Structure formats: C-alpha cells, structure tokens
Structure 1
C-alpha cells in the first residue's frame, strides 16, 4: 500500500481517540503539540493519563465510558485505538461513512492514514515510515535521526523564524541574501552551533538532554544570533568574491 505524505494543520480541529492504552497515550501526547481539540473515550485509562486526568484543560477532555456513535459528530480526525479489533473496525467504518479521516492502530489496510515515527526539533519535523511492514525498523531509524539531528536545529530554526522577515527586508541584493541563507543552512555552520552549545555546557550534547531551562535556551540563542551576525557581515564584505 502506498501512502501520500502530508502534514496536517490540526489547530482547533476536533480529534477523537477511542481507547486509552499505551498506544492511545502516545497519540495523545503527540496531538497535544498540534493545538487540536482532543476527546478521549474509554471505560479505563492507562496510568500514564493520570496527571492529565487531574487537570482542567480547554484542549482536551476525557469520557470514562464506552464509545457511542455520536462521538464522531464534528470530528476531523479519529484514532481507533482500543484493544478490541472488532470495535476498532466498526469505528473505522462508521468514520469513513461520515468522511472522517481515521487511523486504525491495528489495521493499516482499512485506515485512511498511518502515523509515521516522528522526531521533533522545534520547527524541524522528521518522519519515517515503513508502510506498516516493519514498525521496529521505523523505530530504529527514528533513534538514529534523534542522534543525528540535535537541538542545534531547533535553536537555528527558532532564530530564523523570528528574524527571517527582517533579514529579507535588510538585505536587498537577492543573490547576496540567497548566499547568506545557504551559509546559515550549511553543515559547517550547524557544527559551529554545536560548538557554541558544547562551550556553554558539554552535558547538553553528551546526554542528549534538551530539556533546557528558559534562561539557558535564551542565552544560547543570543550566542548563535551573534554568530549569524558575524556570518552576514563577512558575506557582505566578501560578496564580490563569493557571488
């Protein structure tokens, strides 16, 4: 089966998860990042949901009961994630009748879509799929991507998201601007960013611990922004030689 890759904007969209086991918990945590409106229906909940069950949130709500057909009303996306294959199949067919996108966690053949293995680094989203043929391989590739693509990508894209429009406005020469952007995106500049991070705190890269305090994250951003400013200044000074 061939799938068409797509990134969905789920902000404010209604998403239903039926089931609340380990698989449903993973789906739920990923969906939280999308700002979707999430409803989870299940008679029982995995203990991983406990901290969420104790909170009040406008983004999600939990229904401790069995699935009802009316749960599908107004939904944009549905995950049939119970431990009952027959129930998952019934939910899937009901959703498809209503033209609602549905993923059946134990049956890719009847799903409208599958969810790839994901690595998030801020605005950088990396995905890998093996077409449901060998999920263990997807998992192994994801681990490699987590190692290869560190927090330097997140920091750089965060800075560029905030400053791209300003750079475009301030650098009128189209060729020079493209040259600067190429240099910022180049692997040697990302290596330089890793050096900045390593000088700040070697433990960040050694342990792969990217849960930085806000003050640490902002301090690193300032150091990287200085390096970008130096890069731009050098490119402007040497533009006649480099373009």
Structure 2
C-alpha cells in the first residue's frame, strides 16, 4: 500500500508574476531557452503580440490570441504544442484567460439562475485551464499580471518616493500552490521566489536567466536518476 517517497518528474511547471513593465515576457523566454536546451519553444501571446518584439533575440514560435479569451483559445494551442514536439510552452499571460472565465460567469448571471450554481459552471472552465497547464507533458512557464500598488520608500537621499510594486497575481486565489516554483518580479526586473519546492531559490533576489532554466533541468535530471535507482533497488 505504501512505498518509499521519491522525488520524480520530467516536466516543470513555473509561474512568473509581476506588474506591467516588470519584464515577465523577457524573463520567461530566458527561462524557456535554458529549459529547452536548444529545443523548441512555443508561446501563447495574449499581450497584443508583444512577445514578437523579442524575435530577434530568441528563437520561438508564437500564436497570438485576441479577445474574447475563451478557454478553448488556450486548450487548442496547447494540444497543438503537445502533438508537434515542442519542449517548452510559455503562456503570456494566463491572467487574460482568468478574466475570460470571470466574463463567462458574469454572462451566466445576466441570464439568471443561481449565482452559486453559475460559479460551478465557471469552475469547470478554470479546471480546464489548470489541466492544460499541470497535466501537459511539457515544460510550462505561466506569466500572470499582478495587481499594482504604490508604496512610499526611502531613496538614497533619504526622501520618501512612490514605488510601483506588484501584489497578488490576477488569477484565482491560491493558484500559486499549483506550481513547482513561483517567481515574483519587481519593476527593476529582480525576481524572488514566493514559493519554491526545489529549494534552490529561497531567500534570493536575482534576475531570471538561461542559467535559471538550466538549474531546473539539472534538478529534474537528479530526480530521474533518483527514481531509476529506486526502481533498480
């Protein structure tokens, strides 16, 4: 009934959150390049084709999604990616699909019926979103917009100046628990892991690079080796 617990898994699920201008897309592409190790990268772009601005620096394929952000516009490209030998999928951003689910719930409410029951229907869409991310046999990097807020912070001259910071991601509460690692970016493009099951990035502030992606690859390799040793025993 029970067996010895072992770290295992071949694909990583990562999230990057941050306010507009924090560098989520660029950071995601750097992470993806490190994860792919010369493999193929696909990107679902809901951000008005902004990812294509980096086409000169990164080699990736893109599909541009426009409103309304129905869940099938995530599911169909994901199926294509899985069937065409890509190594990494970047979703930039998933916040639009969450807003699409909220719009779906609002439209159900306008038609009448019980609001609580309507949430049940909307939750089915959210479950499809999670399944596309978590159960796809591919590395997935999900960008999510953060709600923005201004705080007063002392500068190097001792004066209080406003600073834009990202707060909770625009997504269903608790979504961060679904990912292996969640990186929060600030407006200076610095990342900090708010959740990290790998324990490689705890209490660090740094920029996301290809090396970060390579670290995840190495971590997964160690998982595979550990699993094979367990099977041999």
TM-score, with normalisation over the residues of structure 1? 0.33
Which structure has more strand as a fraction of its residues?
A: 2
Which structure has more helix as a fraction of its residues?
A: 1
Structure number with larger C-alpha Rg: 1
Task: Using CA pairs under 8 Å that are at least 6 residues apart, name the structure with larger relative contact order, 1 or 2.
Answer: 2
TM-score, with normalisation over the residues of structure 2? 0.34
